[in-house]
Structure 1
């Protein structure tokens, strides 16, 4: 008969709970701040130690979850080796592919961000208002400021996540084929 697993510390239990309910990566210092109270201050180092412990244990056990860190922000993910079955379950007949127009618009924004609708339309040669609305609703792009009264759009972390990238620097070299945003008249 298997021996019962040892109980985890209260700090670890709380960190696990916060990771589970976080819908985006959470900084070590943010976890420490949330976990601290008037009676007890939890240090960034203590939290980081617990996060590393959790990540190592999940990896050692080959769990269905993995805890990943990027720029001191942590998030639970499904294990990469399980991606095919996870994708099959999530898509299960409901997959909605992006249209060619949406892919083109997304590519222009990804390579030339931040940029305005007019700048995207100038590259594509057609109006892209509806496509930009769709990409925004799907969470792949977001408004990230204004330029001369026009909204600026950039890709989101979800965009990178969907492509399995850590940063925009992972995009293949294509930008030299596109005109500079500054050269496009609004």
Structure 2
């Protein structure tokens, strides 16, 4: 839920140039997580169906205009995202000049995602024993992991490695990842086999 929705503030969209569409764009552009049509409707004091219709129309218009971004509807709500075909461009920009190595925590989270994918943030945290949201966000910014789908039980976003991860690892598919068996205790290795 947005902060405005939680505080009960209602914005009159007719007071702003571009009306509802422009207000939706402005909010979704700065939102750090997907927003539901219900929450947006409450903030703007309009019907949920009006918000759904406006969002669907905007998404279609962005598709027609071949923008570098899209308005995506996910299980958790609506959000702006770069189009998948522009991932190499975005990754090159985000990582330009970054020579810093991954931290131990980031390497741990990346290994868990690589070997257990698809996996939720909560599952990564449970395996590591600590909250991993910050390191996962860092991995996503670097273009090494991405969200793909939702867990049917928890409705949480599923994390997978990206094409950039494979490229950086120098492999063509996840099947080429080295086996973990030599690093596991004998009892665990036997159970995994």
TM-score, normalising length: structure 2: 0.54
User: In 2, Cα distance between the equivalents of 1:73 and 1:34?
Assistant: 15
TM-score (norm 1): 0.56
For residues 120 and 86 of structure 1, do their structure 2 counterparts lie closer, same or farther at Cα, with a shift above 3 Å needed?
closer
CA shift in 2, pair 1:43/1:97, >3 Å: farther
Asked whether 1:89 is paired with 2:93, we answer yes
| Structural mapping, 1:35-46, within 5 Å | 35-36=44-45, 42-46=46-50
1:163 maps to what in 2? 146
Q: How does 1:171-182 map to 2 (within 5 A)?
A: none
Q: Distance in 1 between matches of 2:73 and 2:55?
A: 9
- Cα distance, 1:166 vs structure 2: 2.3
Match of 1:29 in 2: 38
- Please provide the CA RMSD for this pair: 4.2
With over 3 angstroms needed to count, the CA separation of the structure-2 counterparts of 1:95 and 1:24, relative to structure 1, is farther
SS of equivalent to 2:63: helix
Report if the CA contact (8 A) 2:34-2:77 is conserved: yes
The within-5 A match list for 1:1-186 is: 9-36=18-45, 42-71=46-75, 73-94=77-98, 96-98=100-102, 102-108=106-112, 111=116, 113=123, 116=126, 120=128, 135-140=132-137, 162-167=145-150, 168=158
Equivalent residue of 2:149, what SS?
coil
- Kindly indicate whether the alpha-carbon contact (under 8 Å) linking 1:65 and 1:77 is maintained by their aligned counterparts in 2: yes
d(CA) in 2 for partners of 1:163, 1:109 = 10
In structure 2, C-alpha distance between the alignment counterparts of 1:57 and 1:23, rounded to whole Å: 23
Render the CA deviation track for 1:80-124: whole Å, top value 9, x for unaligned.
2222111111110215453577434554489582765xx648xxx
> Partner of 2:54: helix, strand, or coil?
helix
Q: Which has the larger helix fraction?
A: 2
User: Aligned pair in 2 of structure 1 residues 12, 137: CA closer, same or farther (>3 Å)?
Assistant: closer
Larger Rg: 1 or 2?
1
For structure 1, the 5+ residue unaligned runs are 1-7, 37-41, 122-131, 142-156, 181-186
SS at match of 1:26: coil
